[in-house]
Structure 1
Amino acid sequence: MTRTKIGISIQGTSIYLDDRTVVLSEAIAKKWKIPTNQTITLRFGSVKQDIKVITASIKNSLRVNPALASKLGLHQGSKLCLHYRQSSNTLSIGPLIGVMVSRVYAGSSDRPFGAITAFCKEMTAACEKFGAFVCFFPPGEMRGTAQSVSAYSYANGAWSKKTFPIPNVIYNRLTSRKYENLKHVQQFLSEVKSRYGTEVFNEKYLDKTEVFEALRKDNSLHGYLPESYLFKNYQMLKSMSSRHPVLFLKPITGSLGKGIIRIRREAGDTYTCHFTNLGGVRKQSFPTLTSAFQALSGKLKTQRYQLQQGLDLITSAGRPVDFRALVQKGPLGQWSITSIVGRIAGTQHFVSNLARGGTLSTVPNALAKSSLSAKSRVLVSGRLRKASLDIAKGIEAQIPNHFGELGIDLAVDNHGKVWLLEVNSKPSKDDNTQLNVERKIRPSVKQLVQYSRFLAKF
């Protein structure tokens, strides 16, 4: 696609410039065959305004009057993409990207979005690089009948709150199911999609049962799926235990390894349960599976759990290893792998989450410390990549929601076989996820902006 980037210049009213007239670089007007001195439509986000274009020998610039800039939500110095469509007589600038954030700390001018503030700044820098504008807004700013949104943007070293049109694209970074399911949030998303054609991606949280049931529909993915069911009763536990020496019970809406229970069948048909908590792992032994179930029954009634086959995973110095693949859509709207990292469980833990003392490693280093042969390690690296893409495409095919990035947790057993652990539709963007010390824009953030630009057809 031909793409032109322009700088927005807001200038006071003059004999040439009023709220219905803009001044555009002569070369750009000629390149896009934009008619001058006649009425066309200028669009930014959801807002449209009839204007006339006059040209001047200025370089890659669009000059607008302050009143028009205010109406459209344009900012001085913004670098945006531009295109003109003759069929609709519309000059579009943008895209305008909105990011839904869980909360705003109004008293904190340096970190208004808490742990994801650095990511939001990085997103702003990526938008400047690729010719887009991004604003951030919490659930309290969403209205079902909204024609605009009050949102935060970052410029000249400071955050400010202004009114913007409804964005071309919205990226859902709400990290709470409670916020996501609020009635007015759902109404807002439904309204902007139907009324303005806004593209919304990473629309919802995925729970563990939903993922496994969806992927089970695709025969080609069965090889990645450990035996796994929504837990229902003791009979199911007994049946699974007869087939697998280790079982996991995972809260279906859990994250960060919280609340996971491991049940191991020991010699003599006794059972050991391990429970994750912030301090480490609590261990409890039971003479029978029935007594273990009775001890767990209180927990199992408070929330829903996924019952999953335990796997004989590769280890590093005796600690379990798994892998997190970040799979994203990019400039052409296709799935690609942005990164895969190894995660080594912390001492005394059987889950690898960083919040539980786990450490990150490159894939080659994580595999090198395992018992796999050199030949197997090479094969496993390729299998991890193939599984990541297969599973992302499977999610897209089987779950009727729009996702632009997925965190896919994979495991490798001692035979070199790759297994799916879970899929996360809200991969972490916190300040502690190894932000580049040199403040460069990470590939994952570039992908988000380029995919947004693709969705907005810029």
Structure 2
Amino acid sequence: MVNLKKYNILYKKYYKRKIRLSKNFIQEFNLTSKVVTLKIGQWSKQFNIIESNVLSDDTIGLPKSKIPFTLPANLTYEIKVEDNMIHIGPIIGILAKQKSNFKQYEFKKYNSRLRNYNEINGVVFLCSEAGINMEERTIKGYYYNPNARNKKMKWQEGIFPYPDSFFKRVRIQKVLQKELLNQMGDTIFNSHYFDKLKLWEVCSGDSEAKKLLPESRFYKNQEDIEDMVEKHDQVYIKPIRGMQGIGIIRIEKKDDQYIITDGEGNKVKFPSINNTMDYLNTKLTNKHGYILQQGIPTLYKDKHTDFRFYFQKNKNKEWICQGTVGRVAKENRIVTNYKHLSGLLSGNKAIQLLFQTDSNHAQEILNKTIEDCMIICQLIEKEMGHYGDIVFDVVIDENKKTWVLEINNRIYGLKSLQRLKKFKMLRKILTTPIEYAKALTNF
């Protein structure tokens, strides 16, 4: 059974190899054996228990020397008791980066994710890939201490067991990925990284999802570009593992000329495909390769316009759309990343301006787009792994059809919400993944 009360940890040296519990605690959880299994994260060990006349009912006495990692006594915990196993937690990890060193400003960013810590409890720690010790099955990181005397002390160093759940925000080595999945099962999200090509391959195998993505293909040679340019008015060349619009190029064919536009809005024209390829070969240098994607025209006053939809799983383990932002690029810009924007609007307001309609009809269009994106949410989980925090970049064309351009399943920016002063939405987006991580622990 799970007890919703909060519990404290008390360490004493003289406890040696035994756990101290109050009489009421033992009776409440029907602990009939003198031996129990103590479980913390993915670690477990058997201990003898002794009834204590001095401990309060909400305190568990532990032998400090027998707990081989950091379980801070200055935090509050929840417990689950089943079949003489006492599970103390939750222990939640956030895999935030690949290198081991954290700077103070990085901790500050994560403070806002734990504004609702009183509803989470237990240990929430930040770590890097470099801090994970597969041999010991421990993780070096920093846990959040809401009771710290000042902000600089809110994150304190420690060694932790593999957690009850992991919020994974970076790509990691395959051998470590396999180790964590073997030890933790399906309690890691966003479990697998996928790129633009993988997204297209998976969606193209599903009749409903395929309709929602522009035609895409892996760029191999000149024939691929020629074929795509003949079929579509615009073709985007995107790095398969690109981020923030870096390295994106658009190619168009008009009046027997090939027009190339880069992310900064610079244009060059060529009279033949051979000249065009000579130029492109100097630009397409990303070692992971490129994807060719059908361009979907969508303009507001001659400016490219798209939408960002924030999808997350909540504490009920259900996909929800937390909100939408409309993004208008600067004139002649082909991407809508933050530095290329001329305007930001709420999703509803952007629809109103784009289609010259009222708020109710705009919301109907948004709701239909959310339903379309949900199809892909379900599909990528079925085919690619466990996810709980992803962002869709979407174009809605003149026929109000949804086109999913990209899905970000790692770190994504939130400056747009700050600029729009959407602080309530921002807080929900920051805190919901930790709520979902707790739901995965079953505390």
Amino acid paired to 1:75: P
Closer/same/farther in 2, CA of residues 69 and 386 from structure 1, 3 Å limit: farther
Question: Residues 40 and 89 of structure 2 are in contact (CA less than 8 Å); yes or no, is this contact kept in structure 1?
Answer: yes
How far 1:302 moved relative to its partner?
Answer: 4.4
Summarize the alignment of residues 22-421 of structure 1 with structure 2, pairs less than 5 Å apart: 22-24=20-22, 26=24, 30-31=27-28, 33-35=29-31, 38-49=34-45, 50-52=47-49, 54=51, 61-65=58-62, 67=64, 70-71=67-68, 73-86=70-83, 89-102=84-97, 108=103, 110-111=104-105, 113=106, 117-155=107-145, 156=148, 157=151, 158=153, 159-174=155-170, 177=171, 180-181=172-173, 186-195=174-183, 197=185, 199-266=187-254, 268-276=255-263, 280-300=264-284, 302-303=286-287, 304-315=289-300, 317-357=301-341, 359-374=343-358, 377-399=362-384, 401-421=385-405
Cα deviation, 1:121-146, whole Å, max 9, x if unaligned, reads 23344344223421111122123323
Amino acid paired to 1:422: E
Question: Normalising by the residue count of structure 1, what TM-score does the alignment of the two structures yield?
Answer: 0.84
Question: Which residue of 2 is the match for residue 424 of structure 1?
Answer: 408
Q: State the SS of the aligned residue for 2:269.
A: strand
Amino acid paired to 1:434: Q
Closer/same/farther in 2, CA of residues 412 and 439 from structure 1, 3 Å limit: closer
Closer/same/farther in 2, CA of residues 120 and 286 from structure 1, 3 Å limit: same
Question: Which residue of 2 is the match for residue 451 of structure 1?
Answer: 436
Closer/same/farther in 2, CA of residues 150 and 130 from structure 1, 3 Å limit: same
- Could you tell me how far apart the structure 2 residues matched to 1:229 and 1:204 are? 21
Percent identity among equivalent residues? 22
How far 1:80 moved relative to its partner?
Answer: 2.4
How far 1:24 moved relative to its partner?
Answer: 5.0
Larger mean CA deviation between 280-289 and 59-68 belongs to 59-68
- Could you tell me how far apart the structure 2 residues matched to 1:438 and 1:238 are? 46
Q: State the SS of the aligned residue for 1:381.
A: helix
Amino acid paired to 2:82: R
Cα deviation, 1:404-433, whole Å, max 9, x if unaligned, reads 221111111122111010111114267886
Closer/same/farther in 2, CA of residues 197 and 219 from structure 1, 3 Å limit: closer
Q: State the SS of the aligned residue for 1:332.
A: coil
Question: Which residue of 2 is the match for residue 6 of structure 1?
Answer: 6
Question: Residues 85 and 91 of structure 1 are in contact (CA less than 8 Å); yes or no, is this contact kept in structure 2?
Answer: yes
Amino acid paired to 1:189: Q
Closer/same/farther in 2, CA of residues 439 and 319 from structure 1, 3 Å limit: closer
- Could you tell me how far apart the structure 2 residues matched to 1:96 and 1:269 are? 62
Question: Residues 417 and 423 of structure 2 are in contact (CA less than 8 Å); yes or no, is this contact kept in structure 1?
Answer: no
Larger mean CA deviation between 440-449 and 129-138 belongs to 440-449
Question: Residues 248 and 309 of structure 1 are in contact (CA less than 8 Å); yes or no, is this contact kept in structure 2?
Answer: yes
How far 1:288 moved relative to its partner?
Answer: 2.8
Amino acid paired to 2:397: D
Summarize the alignment of residues 432-447 of structure 1 with structure 2, pairs less than 5 Å apart: 434=418, 442-447=427-432
Closer/same/farther in 2, CA of residues 104 and 293 from structure 1, 3 Å limit: closer
Q: State the SS of the aligned residue for 1:337.
A: strand
Q: State the SS of the aligned residue for 1:203.
A: coil
How far 1:163 moved relative to its partner?
Answer: 1.3
Amino acid paired to 1:64: G
- Could you tell me how far apart the structure 1 residues matched to 2:99 and 2:286 are? 31
Q: State the SS of the aligned residue for 1:434.
A: helix
Question: Residues 230 and 305 of structure 1 are in contact (CA less than 8 Å); yes or no, is this contact kept in structure 2?
Answer: yes
How far 1:332 moved relative to its partner?
Answer: 2.9
Question: Residues 206 and 423 of structure 1 are in contact (CA less than 8 Å); yes or no, is this contact kept in structure 2?
Answer: no
Amino acid paired to 2:88: I
Let me know the Cα RMSD of the aligned residues.
Answer: 3.1
User: Any stretches of 5+ residues in structure 2 without a counterpart?
Assistant: none
- Could you tell me how far apart the structure 1 residues matched to 2:93 and 2:37 are? 22
Closer/same/farther in 2, CA of residues 25 and 389 from structure 1, 3 Å limit: farther
- Could you tell me how far apart the structure 2 residues matched to 1:198 and 1:414 are? 41
Cα deviation, 1:151-183, whole Å, max 9, x if unaligned, reads 111321312211111111122122xx5xx23xx
Amino acid paired to 1:428: Y
Amino acid paired to 1:232: K
Closer/same/farther in 2, CA of residues 69 and 321 from structure 1, 3 Å limit: farther
Question: Residues 81 and 131 of structure 1 are in contact (CA less than 8 Å); yes or no, is this contact kept in structure 2?
Answer: yes
Amino acid paired to 1:190: K
Amino acid paired to 2:135: T
Amino acid paired to 2:335: V
- Could you tell me how far apart the structure 1 residues matched to 2:72 and 2:342 are? 43
Q: State the SS of the aligned residue for 1:442.
A: helix
Larger mean CA deviation between 414-423 and 126-135 belongs to 126-135
Question: Residues 13 and 65 of structure 2 are in contact (CA less than 8 Å); yes or no, is this contact kept in structure 1?
Answer: no
Larger mean CA deviation between 403-412 and 76-85 belongs to 76-85
How far 1:149 moved relative to its partner?
Answer: 1.6
Larger mean CA deviation between 70-79 and 234-243 belongs to 70-79
How far 1:36 moved relative to its partner?
Answer: 6.6
- Could you tell me how far apart the structure 2 residues matched to 1:394 and 1:369 are? 32
Amino acid paired to 2:37: T
Amino acid paired to 2:329: A
Closer/same/farther in 2, CA of residues 168 and 240 from structure 1, 3 Å limit: same
Amino acid paired to 1:99: I
- Could you tell me how far apart the structure 1 residues matched to 2:160 and 2:23 are? 25
Count of residue pairs the alignment pairs up: 433
